Amino acid sequence: MNLLAPVDYNCAMNTHNYVNFFRQTSPYIHAHRGKTFVIAISGESILAPNFHSMIHDIALLQSLGMRVVLVHGARPQIDQRLQLSGITPLFEQHIRVTDSDTMQCVKESVGCTRLIIETELSMGLPNSPMHGSHIRVIGGNFITAKPVGIQEGIDFQRAGQIRRVDSEAINYQLQSGALVLVSPVGFSPTGESFNLSYQDVATKIAIDLTAEKLILISQPRGVVDGDQLLRTLSLAQVAELQETTKDLQQAELLSAASLACHEGVERVHMVGYEEDGALLAELFTREGSGTLIMKDCEEVIRPATIEDVGGILNLITPLEESGVLVKRSRELLENEISRFSVVVHPEGLIIGCAALYPTTNKAAGELACVAIHEEFHGQGIGARLLEKVEYDSKATGISNLLAMTTKTAHWFIERGFIEVKVRDLPENKQSMYNYRRNARIFSKTI
């Protein structure tokens, strides 16, 4: 920190907002760290005004501990090179017919585009987002390809299909902390090179790496239906859209997303390139900025495991600090983790939890540590979590649930709890009751 730097009072006034922003994004950062993201950027996005910021945002993901494979397209760049060479682009079945002259333009365009991206990732000027990043960008012959061949009488010549991805080599580079940059060109054992679809390359890499996310930055926005941006889509909804969409580019992206999800990629994000910061907004805010595609669009309620301890602590610590919940140490939480149920967002974040504790009365159990992330209040998640706890309680012979609260009495009353006295508690709970906290006690027959 430069103590002699001039004070920006507007910035100082917004410090609280910045602090809140980091606190709100920290669960996403924890959830994404160490995960593999395959990011595909179209040639159109590279020509967009926000390209520099977009590359810097991708570099930020790398700095935050995400394993990044970046695949780039080059269609408009190739078309421009062909035009300068006096060659008319030819497409059949949505595939570029690639003769030797066209392939030369492909090589030149792809090479130039790759250098532009590497240059941006190598920037390190003071007062720039890239200062101190020191990102190592690695490329190589990771893609083995074969010719598309002759289809319906058309010889596609040097247009190719992916034969194999050297996922072991890519993983090795990711493990070493490098950002892997892959171009849409593949190579054959005979020494030939082939023009590939960057979407196919990104999808195949994501599948073979079992990546947590495939991110497609290829359109001005995410998936749109008319003028409406669709925030989340299940695979069934994707299939419906594939049958009705008239947008060729969107159809190609939906096909890539569907294939990736069916083959084991957990999440596919379709993000626009027009809005500055769209990638970060998609990954680090609840609302997102594009379209999230996944097999299951609903939150999952399940028993907690030891791996959930960190997420639960992130969730309950603010409530403990404000006095809503009783403080629990990490050690205590680890010892009692089998008593907890958690609500897991489709993005993998823990957004809710509750614990069920036994009492000396075998027919009674205590519902405790009920917490829902503030961004998800009002969506019925707490009610569904309560239903799950009640179901589990009945399965163990419990017919009466007890709860203590200092702040949320109305929530329990609205869900069938009635207020009782300390003397109505089982003996072990009476002896442990904290009169200084003076929590209200509620009971519900289930």
Domain boundaries, the chain: 16-294, 300-445
Q: Is the pTM of this model over 0.75?
A: no
Q: What number does CATH give the domain 16-294? A: 3.40.1160.10
Please list the pLDDT of the chain residue by residue as tens digits (446 residues): 333 344 444 544 477 777 777 777 887 888 899 999 999 999 999 999 999 999 999 999 999 999 999 999 999 999 999 999 999 999 998 889 999 999 999 999 999 999 999 999 988 655 556 656 678 999 999 999 999 989 888 999 999 999 999 999 999 999 999 999 999 999 999 999 999 999 999 999 999 999 999 999 987 788 887 788 888 888 888 988 888 888 888 889 999 999 999 999 989 999 999 999 999 999 998 778 999 998 766 678 999 999 999 999 999 999 998 888 889 999 999 999 999 999 998 778 899 999 999 898 889 999 999 999 988 888 889 998 999 899 889 888 999 999 999 989 999 999 999 999 999 999 888 988 888 888 999 999 98
CATH 3.30.750.24 fits 300-445, yes or no: no
Assign 3-class secondary structure to the chain.
CCCCCCCCHHHHHCHHHHHHHHHHHHHHHHHHCCCEEEEEECHHHHHCCCHHHHHHHHHHHHHCCCEEEEEECCHHHHHHHHHHCCCCCCEECCEECECHHHHHHHHHHHHHHHHHHHHHHHCCCCCCCCCCCCCCEECCCCEEEEECCEECCEECECEEEEEEECHHHHHHHHHCCCEEEECCEEECCCCCEEECCHHHHHHHHHHHHCCCEEEEEEECCCCEECCEECCEEEHHHHHHHHHHCCCHHHHHHHHHHHHHHHCCCCEEEEEECCCCCHHHHHHHCCCCCCEEEECCCCCEEEECCHHHHHHHHHHHHHHHHCCCCCCCCHHHHHHCHHHEEEEECCCCCEEEEEEEEECCCCCEEEEEEEEECHHHCCCCHHHHHHHHHHHHHHHCCCCEEEEEECCCHHHHHCCCCEEECHHHCCHHHHHHCCCCCCCEEEEEEC
